Amino acid sequence: MAAELDPLGDVLRLVQLSGVFYCPAVLTEPWGGSLPPEPNCLWFHVVLAGVCRITAADGSTATIEPGDVALLPHGTGHTMMGSADAATPSVIDLPHDDESEHFGVLRHGGGGATTRLVCGGVRLDHPAARTLLDALPAIIVVRPDESSRRDWLRASLELMAEETRVVKPGGDVIVSRLCDIVVVQAIRAWIDHDPAARSGWIGALRDPRVGAAIAAVHADPAGRWTVSALAEIATMSRSAFAARFTELVGVPPLAYVMRWRMNVARQALLDGSTVAAAARRVGYGSEASFTRAFTKTIGTTPGAVRRGS
């Protein structure tokens, strides 16, 4: 029954992070740095000491202090600096003390007051996770005193600070797991408290009727979905459901079904599926008709996606 479903919870369970890079940073005033665009990547910064000023690609700004967490979910690049204005060279090009392929310590700055951060970029590969990122603002800041999960957040940050103060065997594994927890906690805190989370796609997931229909599509992208079938799941009339869905999501129900199917197929192709297998996964018996729908929706052919071109 619709009341027993948890569509938003289902999406959050699909926020499976694959690490791009985790980086404890010891930065001294004046200091600054920039991170380049990285598609489908969520950057995060946790302040353990000092202050960090962030400017996103769209001009949004935030200042974070000890205990604060900032997420930049759109992968469009951003700049950071301390309390004083400074040059912002690419962080990627600055020297790191590499502890592993995905974990390195950055030391940079002019020798003044110290800011200690844990920074990182994580990739979210599932279509639901990428749709979630698109629905988030350019910068999310979670402060411990504003989070209903502040005790969990504080404990996670304290352990992170301990593990990054002195590099120990296995520390990179512990820090990467803590980063995953903090990222999901921060997204949940934003959803719980920001009015913007009550509209758009996230608002639709939270709607008990429309959310139930979306959850059904996510669970079975190959299903023979019609507006009537989805309206029945939502326990609404066909016309009322179509209007409510379009109002919340921004596109009609079957347009959403198409986009969802093609995103699922795209991920299958990236994971190595053949075009025929990807087509079957989203309900197409004809490879030719799937290719036409995929190309129209995604803007490139299934074969090009599979080849990585």
Query: Is the domain of 78 the same as that of 105?
Result: yes
Question: pLDDT tens for residues 21-49?
Answer: 678 899 999 999 999 998 778 898 989 89
pLDDT of residue 267: 87
Domain hosting residue 58, numbered range = 2-195
pLDDT of residue 180: 74
Q: What is the spatial distance between Cα 207 and Cα 214, in angstroms, rounded to a whole number?
A: 10
Listed residues 170, 195, 220: the one ending a domain: 195
Q: Which two tokens stand for residue 102?
A: 């995905």
Query: Is it the case that residue 148 has pLDDT exceeding 70?
Result: no
Query: Is the domain of 46 the same as that of 126?
Result: yes
Q: Is residue 18 part of a domain?
A: yes
Q: Is residue 40 part of a domain?
A: yes
Residue 30 vs residue 172, higher pLDDT: 30
Q: Is residue 200 part of a domain?
A: no
pLDDT of residue 102: 60
The residues facing 122 across adjacent strands are 19, 42
Q: What is the spatial distance between Cα 42 and Cα 122, in angstroms, rounded to a whole number?
A: 5
Query: Is the domain of 244 the same as that of 294?
Result: yes
The percent of residues above 70 in pLDDT, for the chain, comes to 86
Q: Is residue 71 part of a domain?
A: yes
Over the chain, what is the mean pLDDT? Answer: 85
Contact 166, 48 (CB under 8 A): no
Query: Is it the case that residue 187 has pLDDT exceeding 90?
Result: no
Listed residues 195, 215, 248: the one ending a domain: 195
Query: Is the domain of 53 the same as that of 129?
Result: yes
Listed residues 160, 195, 230: the one ending a domain: 195
Query: Is the domain of 180 the same as that of 273?
Result: no
Q: What is the spatial distance between Cα 106 and Cα 104, in angstroms, rounded to a whole number?
A: 7
pLDDT of residue 3: 43
Q: What is the spatial distance between Cα 111 and Cα 86, in angstroms, rounded to a whole number?
A: 13
* 1: confidence class by pLDDT, cuts 50, 70, 90: very low
3-class DSSP assignment, residue 67: coil
pLDDT of residue 103: 67
Query: Is the domain of 188 the same as that of 215?
Result: no
Q: What is the DSSP string of 191-217?
A: HHH-GGGGSHHHHHHHSTTHHHHHHHH
Instruction: Specify the number of domains making up the chain.
Output: 2
Q: Is residue 110 part of a domain?
A: yes
Q: What is the DSSP string of 134-184?
A: HHS-S-EEE-GGG-TTHHHHHHHHHHHHHHHHS--TTHHHHHHHHHHHHHH
Query: Is the domain of 18 the same as that of 87?
Result: yes
The residues facing 80 across adjacent strands are 33, 54
Q: Which two tokens stand for residue 86?
A: 């400074």
Q: What is the spatial distance between Cα 118 and Cα 157, in angstroms, rounded to a whole number?
A: 10
Phi, psi angle pair for 169, to nearest 5° = -55, 130
Q: Which two tokens stand for residue 152?
A: 């969990």
CATH of the domain at 249: 1.10.10.60
Q: What is the spatial distance between Cα 267 and Cα 298, in angstroms, rounded to a whole number?
A: 12
Q: Is residue 32 part of a domain?
A: yes
pLDDT of residue 167: 64
Question: pLDDT tens for residues 56-113?
Answer: 999 999 999 998 889 999 988 999 999 989 999 999 888 887 666 566 788 999 999 9
